[in-house]
Structure 1
Amino acid sequence: MYKPIKSIQLPDADVVVWKYLDLSKFLDMLLCRKMFMARSDKFEDQYEGTFSEPTFEELKRIAADKPEFLDTYKNMRKNVVVSSWHINTYESYAMWQIFTKNNEGLAIQSTVGRLQQALAPEQKYEQHIGAVKYIDYKKEYIPFDDDFFPFLFKRKSFQYEREVRIISNLTKYDLNINEGVKIDVDINTLIERIYIHPKSENWYKNLVIQLMQQLGFDFIIEKSDLESDILI
């Protein structure tokens, strides 16, 4: 079930978002009809879910009389799960390079509105959507009056990600989360178009098309703009 995050402005519903992933993860999504959400402390960025220096100094002052205060935030990182999407009107060459390997992989094109609509209303985990803000962690302050704020701020070095996140805090469910969890989604609503890696071989493109047809999906498959012929 989708719920907005207070004090976080979400991009307009028609804003285009992308997820770049390899074929195995894409097929897992189609077969399970579920979306994977990764445990927040498993991301490569070690600052994920932490606070900036000005905020941390304030938290330490509060924790002087309440030692358990900081432990609450440390433990939360193990129980918050995230699905990351990239805001961009067009394909991103950099995202292909970062999230796919060996000239293989796919990009799912969707919109913020589709993300909201695709989240199944009947499941027990609440999902929240917010756009990440990129700040100077040495100078700027991160509010902590909402549990999700530490997961919606990142260092300026990551501005290229232009990230929108689906977030769930599963602390109250007392789960043993390993790498993450899978949540129910309406796959046909979630996915508007599919782009196959622009440098992939024809056999790979045909394989992706055949697999989707066999699984009963008929997504629009677009030719990558990065694959266009040179005009000269």
Structure 2
Amino acid sequence: MFLNSPDIKLTDNPETIVWKYLDLSKFLDMLLSKKLFMSRSDKFEDQYEGTFSEPTFEEIKKIAVNNPKFLDYYKSHREKVVISSWHANEYESFAMWQIFTKNNEGLAIQSTIGRIKEALKSEKHFEQYIGEVNYIDYKKEYIPFDDTFFPFLFKRKSFQYEREIRIISDVSNSKISINDGLKIDVDINQLIEKIYIHPKSENWYKNLVIEMVQKLGYAITIEKSDLESDILI
């Protein structure tokens, strides 16, 4: 399911390119399990994740005066929501390599909005949505709360560089218990269009990734990032 609201946006172009930057162990786990890991929302580094802006919080507090459980629900709800984050960009991002990989290792999965939609398998036990993150001023701007997914599709303006597309799942109405996150079923071949190896990695590292992917039976195009290619002068 995909959120349709004037407050939530998602490009209609299925060819929009998105990226996920990750280390080799997380990538290997994805291939072996044929599942996509989604992090619990309250485990993210940003402490504001899934919370409200100041104008919205003031309104919620007024409602909670006569209904204290209303506020308690939003506090505990973060533990029941899991997220997979993707970076929307036509090209590789030097900043994303720096933030999400280390020691000149790691890789980037290239996909598209259309591929993600096709790769996600229908879930019977919980709701699942995809949406584009809105970046706002949390001191001045309002976050709607007529849908419980909305707080997870807004972030502070200081995170605009992330250009984030999110897959969001809510397990509140299921018996699923989550610690750090949840793995959901995906079609790996449909999800991944191409794999880029870290631009500063050694050749042996690229060969290792190619060998692993082939031995696991995947026919995915793999190439080394050219962000660090030789200059022409």
- Both structures adopt the same fold (TM-score exceeding 0.5): yes
Residues in 1 aligned to 2:16 and 2:218: alpha-carbon distance in whole angstroms: 24
User: Is 1:229 the equivalent of 2:217?
Assistant: no
Shift of 1:227: 2.9
Tell me whether 114-123 or 152-161 shows the greater mean CA deviation.
114-123
Q: Aligned to 1:229, what secondary structure does the other structure show?
A: coil
1:121-200 aligned within 5 A = 121=122, 123-200=124-201
Q: Which runs of 5+ in 2 are unaligned?
A: none
Verify the 8 A CA contact 2:135 2:154 in the aligned structure 1.
yes
8 Å CA contact 2:189–2:219 kept in 1: the answer is no
Counterpart position of 2:9: 9
Counterpart check, 1:210 vs 2:208:
no
Q: Distance in 1 between matches of 2:38 and 2:21?
A: 14
Distance 1:125 1:142 in 2: 24
Q: Which amino acid aligns with 1:160?
A: Y
Distance 1:45 1:160 in 2: 14
Q: Which residues of structure 1 form unaligned runs of 5+?
A: none
Instruction: Tell me, in whole angstroms, the C-alpha distance in 2 between the residues paired with 1:53 and 1:62.
Output: 15
Root-mean-square deviation (CA, aligned residues, Å) is 1.0
Name the SS of the counterpart of 2:116 in structure 1.
Answer: helix
CA-to-partner distance for each residue in 1:154-181, whole Å, 9 max, x for gaps?
Answer: 0000000000000011011133210001
* Whole-angstrom CA distance in 1 between matches of 2:43 and 2:26: 17
Q: Percent identity?
A: 72
Counterparts of 1:123 and 1:187, CA distance in 2: 20
What is the DSSP-based 3-state SS (H/G/I as helix, E as strand, rest coil) of the residue aligned with 2:51? coil
- Shifted more, 84-93 versus 122-131: the winner is 122-131
Matched residues in 1 for 2:124 and 2:194: separation?
25
TM-score normalized by the length of structure 2: 0.96
**Match of 1:209, SS?**
helix
Paired positions, count: 230
Distance 2:86 2:174 in 1: 25
Residue type at the aligned position of 1:4: F
2:192–2:220 CA contact under 8 A, matched in 1? yes
Following superposition, which runs of at least 4 residues in structure 1 exceed 6 angstroms of deviation? Answer: none
- TM-score (norm. length: structure 1): 0.97
